Amino acid sequence: MASQPTNLHFVLFPLMAQGHMIPMVDMARLLAERGSMVTIVASPVNSNRFRSVIKRAAEAKLKIQILELQLPLAEVGLPEGCENFDLLPSPALGVNMVLAMNMLEEPAEKMVRGLCPSPSCIISDAGFPWTNDIAKRLKIPRVVFYGPGCFPLLCMHIATNTSILDEVDSDSKYFVMPGLPDRIEVTKPQAWTWGKGDTKESTALFERMQEANKDAIGIVVNSFEELEPKYVEELAKAKDKKVWCIGPVSLSNKSFQDRAERGDKGAINGHDCLKWLDSRESGSVIYVCLGSLSYASTEQAIELGLGLESSNIPFLWFIRKTSEEFEAWLSKEGYEERIRGRGLMVRGWAPQILILSHQAIGGFVTHCGWNSTLEGISSGIPMVTWPQFAEQFLNERFIIDVLKIGVKIGVEVSVLFTQIGESKEIINRDGVKEAIQALMKNDEEGEARRKRCRELVLKAKRATEEAEGGSSHRNITSMIQAVTEELISLQN
Ligand code: UDP
């Protein structure tokens, strides 16, 4: 990788949720590959999850480090070690995490001021609006990272900044989202997402975020221009900001180890699931994973299991969070015996990008988190969509209506973050079976979907390649340039 020597020192503040930390650590590596120094600020438990990836990057002579900042857990009533949204004993405690996040300004500033060489730019998750004040006091530019792509960000911007949601009088009625380049129909709760918050604390945080983010010099997005050109342009106009699409950042994980340990140590050794995949025919297996926060309730997990079984399609099902009732059902039914040979269940963290890039994978049942969506796209895998909360219904619309590379599982009711795992809407086994069979079928529609996926993979790869003059590669260059110029102007 030809690096462009810079004297910049980027300080990255990732939100303590895997869907935000993972892409930011990739982003850190991409910036370090350009010759910049990068410091990632994370709490000890989060830092530990990325230790081996950062160690390898440092061994490859990249100037990258993680510094630890302790979260004030006891002060907000969170148990020790509960340093990430995926470690909360209950999603209702998300509010306490927000309180802890808001208390980091002072220790973070102390840490940033002590850095050598002194920092030249803060790239902050949108969830830390106080980094704006630190950047101002240090006279350095701040770039903001939200997490989702330009399509969902634009939809959220419209939902938050127009009166459209007040004009819709029913939660179940579909309406056309105004001001979008495509015709997109959603319900009010699906569009509401986390744009305005769902508790007093989160609403206050979102208001503060909106204000702080006005000062950012630009928005860095894990996406690529060729994926959503009209939405990149419209988002930049709507926010009146530079938008740098620098992804898919997952493609920066080149080595087997980096892909196997992205986000955490993947649960592959004990299960030998890669060997199992090696023994399957190309494109024959459907991979199921619901991200780092969502999980199926016991009833939903049972219906999913029965649907997968009756589809007669080989499947690899990763379960991050299980319940005693579900485990009891599995053993009473002898489910894992019944599916042996055709299906494999693994409990733990999926090495997702390693699995998605395996030749045996032909489909992905996803909860439509933005990262999973983009990882499916950059692996050329069509998707069965099962959105649950946040902007996931918008991402579903993107997969189904804009890109036309998926089949809906058929859920319509969005839940709040605090209700994860309590969805009132239970998917049913026949719906699961039908969606999976439709996705994996070799009919005209299935072929057309797969063709579109193959085209997108090529575009995704090209975007990240320097030799191809890729748009994401160029955008990193122009972000570095903009930061350099802004820094000079702020410090003179
Ligand atoms: N992920 C993973 N293994 C898992 C679950 C999740 O590697 O078992 C990764 C996934 O590849 C993605 C991130 O965690 O990069 C989840 O982000 P996403 O936006 O898809 O969903 P969220 O977890 O934020 O709802």
What range does the domain containing 403 cover?
A: 265-459
Strands (DSSP E) contained in 272-341 are: 285-289, 315-319
Per-residue DSSP letters for 193-221?
TTTS-SSHHHHHHHHHHHHHHTT-SEEEE
Q: How many domains does the chain fold into?
A: 2
Residue nearest ligand 1's atom 23 by CA: 292
Residue nearest ligand 1's atom 18 by CA: 369
370 C-alpha to center of ligand 1: Å?
9
The ligand 1 atom nearest the CA atom of 318: 8
pLDDT tens for the chain, 492 residues long, are 445 556 899 999 999 999 999 999 999 999 999 999 999 999 999 999 999 999 999 999 999 999 999 999 999 999 999 999 999 998 889 889 999 999 999 999 999 999 999 999 999 999 999 999 999 999 999 999 999 999 999 999 999 889 998 899 998 999 999 999 999 999 998 887 665 666 777 778 788 888 999 999 999 999 999 999 999 999 999 999 999 999 999 999 999 999 999 998 877 765 588 999 999 999 999 999 999 998 888 999 999 999 999 999 999 999 998 999 999 999 999 999 999 989 999 999 999 999 999 999 999 999 999 999 999 999 999 999 999 888 999 999 999 999 999 999 999 887 777 777 666 677 899 999 999 999 999 999 999 999 999 999 999 999 999 888 899 999 999 999 999 999 999 998
**Residue 451's CB: how many other CB atoms inside 10 A?**
11
Residue nearest ligand 1's atom 17 by CA: 19
367 lies in the same domain as 421: yes
From CA 369, how far away is CA 290, in angstroms rounded? 8
From CA 30, how far away is CA 378, in angstroms rounded? 17
The answer to whether position 1 is within a domain reads no
Per-residue DSSP letters for 218-278?
EEEESS-GGGSHHHHHHHHHHHTSEEEE---GGGG--SHHHHHTSSS--TTTTTTHHHHHH
ipTM of the complex: 1.00
280 lies in the same domain as 193: no
- In three-state secondary structure terms, 328 is helix
The answer to whether position 257 is within a domain reads no
167 C-alpha to center of ligand 1: Å?
34
253 C-alpha to center of ligand 1: Å?
15
Among 434, 443, 427, which residue's Cα sits nearest to residue 407? 434
The ligand 1 atom nearest the CA atom of 262: 7
Per-residue DSSP letters for 14-33?
--SSHHHHHHHHHHHHHHHH
The answer to whether position 362 is within a domain reads yes
Please identify which residue in the block is written with the tokens 């002898």: 334
The ligand 1 atom nearest the CA atom of 352: 7
375 C-alpha to center of ligand 1: Å?
9
164 lies in the same domain as 35: yes
pTM comes to 0.96
34 lies in the same domain as 109: yes
Check residue 63 and give its pLDDT.
96
Pocket test for ligand 1, best of 372, 394, 414 (most atoms within 8 A of CB): 372
From CA 80, how far away is CA 396, in angstroms rounded? 36
The answer to whether position 4 is within a domain reads no
178 lies in the same domain as 309: no
Q: How far apart are the first and last CA of the chain?
A: 33
From CA 372, how far away is CA 396, in angstroms rounded? 11
Residue nearest ligand 1's atom 11 by CA: 352
427 lies in the same domain as 480: no
Ligand 1, pocket residues at CB < 6 Å: 17-19, 22, 262-263, 289, 291-294, 318, 320, 349-350, 352, 369-372, 375
Check residue 194 and give its pLDDT.
60
95 lies in the same domain as 132: yes
17 lies in the same domain as 113: yes
Check residue 337 and give its pLDDT.
96
Whether residue 382 is preceded by a cis peptide bond, meaning omega within 30 degrees of 0, is no
226 lies in the same domain as 286: no
Contact indicator for 354, 259 with CB cutoff of 8 Å = yes
- Residue 12 β-bridge partners: 40, 123
The answer to whether position 46 is within a domain reads yes
355 C-alpha to center of ligand 1: Å?
13
Among 50, 175, 190, 143, which residue's Cα sits nearest to residue 486? 143
Say which CATH number the domain at 178 has: 3.40.50.2000
The answer to whether position 381 is within a domain reads yes
The ligand 1 atom nearest the CA atom of 370: 19
196 lies in the same domain as 280: no
The answer to whether position 484 is within a domain reads yes
Measure the CA angle with vertex 242, ends 238 and 247; round to 5°: 105
Enter the tokens of residue 488.
């000079």
265 C-alpha to center of ligand 1: Å?
13
173 C-alpha to center of ligand 1: Å?
30
Contact indicator for 308, 330 with CB cutoff of 8 Å = no
The ligand 1 atom nearest the CA atom of 292: 23
201 lies in the same domain as 271: no
Alpha helices in 34-129 (DSSP H): 44-59, 94-102, 105-113
- In three-state secondary structure terms, 154 is helix
User: In sequence order, what are the residues at sequence separation of 6 or more whose Cβ sits closer than 8 angstroms to the Cβ of residue 155?
Assistant: 177, 180, 184, 186, 191, 391, 394, 397
16 C-alpha to center of ligand 1: Å?
13
The answer to whether position 190 is within a domain reads yes
267 C-alpha to center of ligand 1: Å?
14
Pocket test for ligand 1, best of 292, 356, 370, 392 (most atoms within 8 A of CB): 292
Pocket test for ligand 1, best of 320, 367, 371 (most atoms within 8 A of CB): 371
291 C-alpha to center of ligand 1: Å?
4
93 lies in the same domain as 69: yes
Check residue 17 and give its pLDDT.
96
The ligand 1 atom nearest the CA atom of 348: 8
364 C-alpha to center of ligand 1: Å?
13
372 C-alpha to center of ligand 1: Å?
6
